[in-house]
Amino acid sequence: MNSVNSSAKSLQANKDLVAEYIRLFYNDKDFDRARRLLTEGFVNHHPGVGAGRDRTVESFSAVATALPGFSLTVRRVVAEGDQVWTHSVAKAAPDAPPSIVVDIWRVEDGRIAEHWDVGQGLPEGSSLEELIEDAG
């Protein structure tokens, strides 16, 4: 296998890993299985979460208890090197107004090692459909 095919497979494997984590963690709330996709030294740079994979799981578990209908729907994914970037729609509940979120994930040895995120509400005068179409 040449290095281009190997690199493409590695990038796809990283995308698949992040997609599986998002599904398990944010949408299925299967924290035990999601935890296994994080390195032991996982660092979450989201304010107030704290260091370590257990702290990340504990923090979001509390959010999931308060907002059981929370969901994160990925609209686009970009992978380069050891990083995966997702552009997603987050909703606190099915009928709640959406927010737009960009997450950056660093992958190390087949597990997620680091996470950063930024988010915003929908800009005034725009619709979710417009943003999704623009993402096209």
Position 4 pLDDT exceeds 80: no
What does the pLDDT look like over 40-91, one tens digit per residue? 999 999 988 877 899 999 999 999 999 999 999 999 999 999 999 999 999 9
The pLDDT of residue 8: 87
Provide the token pair at 87: 């552009």
Can you list the domains of the chain with their CATH numbers? 3-135 (3.10.450.50)
Q: What is the pLDDT of residue 50?
A: 74
* Positive or negative: CA dihedral 54, 55, 58, 64: negative
* 3-state SS assignment for residue 94: coil
> Contact at 8 Å (CB) between 25 and 34?
yes
